[in-house]
Each structure stands twice: as structure tokens, then as C-alpha cells.
């Protein structure tokens, strides 16, 4: 017997509590809206906080620490028999997750956002039915709704999920360090998790179908990452790889792939499939609402995140663009403000992309190729991390900072970084693009010494023709 299912009226409904949904909820509440958020999982925070951004970065950090201890002989630190207690690593990782998801719960209470745990299904464009458990459902009528249901790992047609064929979710929760791991897919998720386990001592093979790993980045940026994987971590990186079969046996799994016309087999303990993500738009009743989708299952929206139905909005992984937590958060603010009648609109020009590889990658604004394709006459200024005092003192001097500026007035159009702390350094360049700074503005800004951020000042000085630590 199902209980409940009587109609309740609410103001603003948000479906999904990831970094898009919960941020939208807070902003909507700040604007005076009465907000209700529905989440089907036990914890708030979505994929990012629970099984994505946060736990993966914790695992990456732990792996980096282990690898540094094992490989510090050249700076005079010799650590024999470095042991990793992986159960404690996992325990620590989960403690980080718990702190942040608990923090989101507190933020909901503090902003008077009603939280409903259950699975939402649209009955029409004004009504949603929430299944709270096996016996309880509740129907809600809303004035406005923001769809923030996120995405899930994409399963390959010939590589089905199993105990040993896993997605990033399971890879983050392993109770052992695998002796061997095959990673299918050389995008940012595959590279990040492949690097993390290689740092723990796993023998890793990365199979990428395209011509290079991290295809979304310029080859000159991804090349140092590929080199570091091969030379520093003994990771086998193979491109132009087509998966032929995956055979699961009792304690191992055999992957057969065609690589540049040759057939190769790989024995592994697990196969990690990182072949993109699929939007969660197919099981929530959107067909009942009239909302338009594209051929990839993504919800079509305008520059205020509004769908084809005026009072329905969509943000994050369910709309076009990269699956980035900070993109979803930004869109959540725009959607909440649009519901309030404010003139907020999407502008992605200064949205950064980051890979927590080793060395790290980061990009914001135009790449050189994109700028030229859009008709800009540009200057390209590169500053090597090998000339940066802080990078040398960290013993991590691989990489460079690349600045893309408009030739006529040195306006900063874009920047790309490969090197230590790239994920932190990119913020300065994003700010420069957002406020319309020139290379001279950056060059005249006094940067503390010795810091990684000085690379931005040095590249800017190259752009305006007055380099100090590079030969003109």
C-alpha cells in the first residue's frame, strides 16, 4: 500500500542537490524565494561531493604524497619501505566527503531550504511526484523548477559493468590498491585516477581511442602529462586504441585492443571505463513536460538557463557544455536570478578547465587556435616553469604558462598552464579576462617572490616586449 500522494504547493523546486542544485537553492533563497530541493541519494552534494570532484582530489593528493616519499632521493630524502595503508586512505577520503556534505546540509538549514529525500518524476510541466520510499509518495505543484539532475558514467556497448569492470564511482571506493589497472579513456577522469593509482604503485595502462590523451587541450599542454606518466610512473599510454573484447575471469580480466592495426592483450585486476558521461534526463518524466532535448539527451536552454517551457530551467550536466562543477554552480546562480526577474545571463568566456594530472593542466578563455579561428590577430607568450624559482624549489619544473593576447592592444584573450599549482594560478588569468585586463596590467601588478604566480607576470612582460627572466 502506497501512502501519501496528496497535492502540496511549493514555490521554487530544485531537482538535484549537486554543486548546481544546492548553489541555485541558496541563491534563490537569498532572493526571497521559498525553495524546496529534492535529492534521491542519502547525502546532499551530488556526484561532485560524494563520488566525483572531492573524493577524487583527496585520492589524488594521497597518491601524490606517497609518490613523493618514494622518489625524493635527488633532493636528499631517502625513504625506504614506504607503506600505504589503503583502508586509512579511504577512511580519510570519506572524512573529507562527510565534512563537505554535512556542510551543505547546514547551508540548507541556514537558508531555510526545505530538503526532501526521494526520487522525482514529472507528471506534467507544473507537477512532480516524489517517491520517498517503497510505501510513500508525495505530489508537489510548483511555480518554477530548476532541473539539476547531473550525469552518470557512460557504459560502452561492448564493455558492460561488472565487479571488475568499473566506473569512476567504484574506482574511488576500492578496498585495495590493484596490482594492475587498465583505464579505457584518456580524458581528464581517466588521467586523474590513472595517475593516482600509479602513484600508489599500480601498474597502469591507459587506452585512448583518439590521437592523444586529454584531447580537449592543445597537444603542447598534454605532452608533458603524457611524458610524466610514461617516464616517471611507468604508465603505458596507448592512443588510437580500439577495444575488441573484455573477458572476465575469476581473479583477473583480459582486455583485447587493436592499436594502430596490431592486436594486443592486457591482463588486469580491474578495468576502469572513463568514456564520458550521460545526462540524467531519461528517467525523470521530462517527456510529460514538453521540454525540448537535443540528440544527446541534453536539455535545450537559452542564455538564462530557461528551457522551452517558461517556468522550467536546467543547469549543469543536463545542458550543453563541459561537465564541470563550477559551471553548474555558475548556471545555478543565473537560473535563480532569472526566476526572480533579474537580467542575469550566461557568459562562459572566462570559465576555467582544469585537470589534476601531474603536472596539472589549466585553461581559460581562448586557446591560440580558437582565437585565430574567430578572426583575432594574436600574440603568443610562453614562460617556462624551468625559469621559475618556486617551481625549481619544489623540484617540479616541467611545463610553462602560455598567454594569448590581442596584437592590437595586448588585451588578454586566454591562457593555458601546465605545471605545479596550475589549478590555482588559472584564477588570476580568468579574472584578467573577465574584467578586460591587458598584458601590461598583469605585468605592472607586483607578484610576490618566489611564487608560481610570477609566471603570469613574466609571460605578460614577454607579451609587451619587456621580459626580465627570458631573452627577448
Instruction: Please give the pLDDT value at position 251.
Output: 83
143 shares a domain with 178: no
243 shares a domain with 96: no
- Other beta carbons less than 10 A from residue 280's beta carbon: 21
Task: Please identify, among 275, 297, 326, the residue that sits at the C-terminal boundary of a domain.
Answer: 275
Residue 337 pLDDT exceeds 60: yes
Query: What's the mean pLDDT in 313-340?
Result: 98
Range of the domain at 69: 3-153+278-339
Residue 338 pLDDT exceeds 90: yes
Query: What's the mean pLDDT in 315-338?
Result: 98
Question: Which of 117, 49, 58, 57 lies closest to 93, judged by CA?
Answer: 58
**% of the chain beyond a pLDDT of 70:** 99
308 shares a domain with 376: no
pLDDT tens for 198-256 read: 999 999 999 999 999 999 999 999 999 999 999 999 999 999 999 999 999 888 999 99
Query: What's the mean pLDDT in 186-200?
Result: 98
CA 189 – CA 313 distance, rounded (Å): 28
**% of the chain beyond a pLDDT of 90:** 94
CA 366 – CA 371 distance, rounded (Å): 6
Task: Please identify, among 256, 275, 294, the residue that sits at the C-terminal boundary of a domain.
Answer: 275
37 shares a domain with 54: yes
Nearest-Å Rg of the Cα atoms of the chain is 24
Whether residue 449 lies in the annotated active site: yes
N-term to C-term CA, the chain: 79
What is the grid cell recorded at 380? 603568443
Task: Judge whether 225 lies within some domain.
Answer: yes
Binding-site residue numbers for NAD(+) are: 185-192, 208, 276
Question: Which of 274, 270, 13 lies closest to 130, judged by CA?
Answer: 13
Instruction: Please give the pLDDT value at position 81.
Output: 85
The count of structural domains within the chain is 3
At 131, the pLDDT band (50, 70, 90 cuts) reads very high
Task: Judge whether 468 lies within some domain.
Answer: no
Name the active-site residue from 61, 64, 240, 449: 449
233 shares a domain with 323: no
Task: Judge whether 470 lies within some domain.
Answer: no
At 1, the pLDDT band (50, 70, 90 cuts) reads very low
Query: What's the mean pLDDT in 269-298?
Result: 97
Report long-range pairs for 134-138 (Cβ below 8 Å, ≥24 apart).
Answer: 135/1, 135/2, 135/3, 136/2, 136/3, 136/4, 137/2, 137/3, 137/4, 137/5, 138/4, 138/5, 138/6, 138/8
CATH number of the domain encompassing residue 417: 3.30.390.30
Tell me the average pLDDT of the chain.
96
228 shares a domain with 196: yes
Pairing of strands 180-184, 270-273: parallel
pLDDT tens for 370-424 read: 999 999 999 999 999 999 999 999 999 999 999 999 999 999 999 999 999 999 9
Contact 254, 267 (CB under 8 A): yes
Contact 159, 246 (CB under 8 A): yes
At 3, the pLDDT band (50, 70, 90 cuts) reads low
What is the grid cell recorded at 246? 573484455
CATH number of the domain encompassing residue 254: 3.50.50.60
Contact 178, 219 (CB under 8 A): no
385 shares a domain with 282: no
Q: Which residue has the higher pLDDT, 230 or 74?
A: 230
Binding-site residue numbers for FAD are: 57, 149-151, 317
Task: Judge whether 347 lies within some domain.
Answer: no
Contact 281, 299 (CB under 8 A): yes
| DSSP-assigned beta bridge partners for residue 364 | 415
Question: Which of 169, 201, 189 lies closest to 62, judged by CA?
Answer: 201
Query: What's the mean pLDDT in 438-457?
Result: 98
| DSSP-assigned beta bridge partners for residue 328 | none
Task: Please identify, among 247, 275, 303, the residue that sits at the C-terminal boundary of a domain.
Answer: 275
Residue 80 pLDDT exceeds 90: no
At 2, the pLDDT band (50, 70, 90 cuts) reads low
248 shares a domain with 290: no
Calculate ∠ Cα 364-369-372, nearest 5°: 105
Instruction: Please give the pLDDT value at position 468.
Output: 95
Amino acid at each position: 500500500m502506497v501512502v501519501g500522494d496528496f497535492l502540496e504547493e511549493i514555490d521554487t523546486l530544485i531537482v538535484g542537490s549537486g554543486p548546481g542544485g544546492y548553489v541555485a537553492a541558496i541563491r534563490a533563497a537569498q532572493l526571497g524565494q521559498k525553495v524546496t530541493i529534492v535529492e534521491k541519494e542519502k547525502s546532499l552534494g551530488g556526484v561532485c561531493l560524494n563520488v566525483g570532484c572531492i573524493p577524487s582530489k583527496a585520492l589524488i593528493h594521497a597518491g601524490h604524497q606517497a609518490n613523493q616519499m618514494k622518489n625524493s632521493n635527488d633532493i636528499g630524502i631517502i625513504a625506504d619501505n614506504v607503506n600505504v595503508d589503503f583502508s586509512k586512505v579511504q577512511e580519510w577520503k570519506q572524512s573529507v566527503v562527510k565534512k563537505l556534505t554535512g556542510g551543505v546540509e547546514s547551508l540548507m538549514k541556514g537558508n531555510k531550504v526545505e530538503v526532501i529525500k526521494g526520487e522525482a518524476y514529472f507528471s506534467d510541466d507544473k507537477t512532480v511526484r516524489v517517491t520517498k520510499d517503497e510505501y510513500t509518495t508525495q505530489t508537489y505543484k510548483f511555480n518554477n523548477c530548476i532541473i539539476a539532475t547531473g550525469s552518470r558514467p557512460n557504459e560502452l556497448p561492448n564493455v558492460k559493468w561488472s565487479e571488475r569492470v568499473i566506473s569512476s564511482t567504484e574506482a574511488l571506493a576500492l578496498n585495495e590498491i590493484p596490482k594492475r589497472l587498465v583505464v579505457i579513456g584518456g580524458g581528464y577522469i581517466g588521467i586523474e585516477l590513472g595517475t593516482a593509482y600509479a602513484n600508489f604503485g599500480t601498474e597502469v595502462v591507459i587506452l585512448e581511442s583518439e590521437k592523444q590523451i586529454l584531447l580537449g587541450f592543445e597537444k603542447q599542454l598534454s605532452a608533458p602529462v603524457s611524458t610524466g606518466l610514461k617516464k616517471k610512473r611507468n604508465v603505458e599510454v596507448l592512443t588510437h586504441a580500439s577495444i575488441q573484447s573484455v573477458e572476465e575471469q575469476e581473479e583477473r580480466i583480459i582486455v583485447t585492443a587493436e592499436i594502430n592495426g596490431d592486436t594486443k592483450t592486457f591482463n588486469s585486476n580491474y578495468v576502469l571505463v572513463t568514456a564520458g558521461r550521460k545526462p540524467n534526463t531519461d528517467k525523470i518524466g521530462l517527456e510529460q513536460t514538453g521540454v525540448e532535448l537535443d540528440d544527446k539527451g541534453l536539455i535545450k536552454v537559452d542564455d538564462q538557463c530557461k528551457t522551452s517551457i517558461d517556468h522550467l530551467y536546467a543547469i549543469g550536466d543536463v545542458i550543453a557544455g563541459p561537465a564541470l562543477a563550477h559551471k553548474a554552480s555558475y548556471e545555478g546562480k543565473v537560473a535563480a536570478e532569472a526566476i526572480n526577474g533579474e537580467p542575469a545571463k550566461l557568459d562562459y568566456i572566462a570559465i576555467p578547465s582544469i585537470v589534476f594530472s601531474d603536472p596539472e593542466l589549466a585553461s581559460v578563455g581562448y586557446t591560440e587556435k580558437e582565437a585565430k579561428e574567430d578572426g583575432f590577430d594574436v600574440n603568443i607568450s610562453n614562460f617556462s616553469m624551468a625559469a621559475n624559482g618556486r617551481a625549481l624549489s619544489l623540484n617540479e619544473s616541467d611545463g610553462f604558462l602560455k598567454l594569448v593576447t590581442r596584437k592590437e592592444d595586448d588585451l588578454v584573450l586566454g591562457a593555458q598552464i601546465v605545471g605545479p599549482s596550475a589549478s590555482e594560478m588559472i584564477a588570476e588569468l580568468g579574472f584578467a579576462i573577465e574584467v578586460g585586463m591587458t598584458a601590461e596590467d598583469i605585468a605592472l601588478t607586483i607578484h610576490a617572490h618566489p611564487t608560481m604566480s610570477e609566471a603570469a607576470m613574466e609571460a605578460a612582460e614577454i607579451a609587451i616586449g619587456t621580459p626580465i627572466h627570458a631573452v627577448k
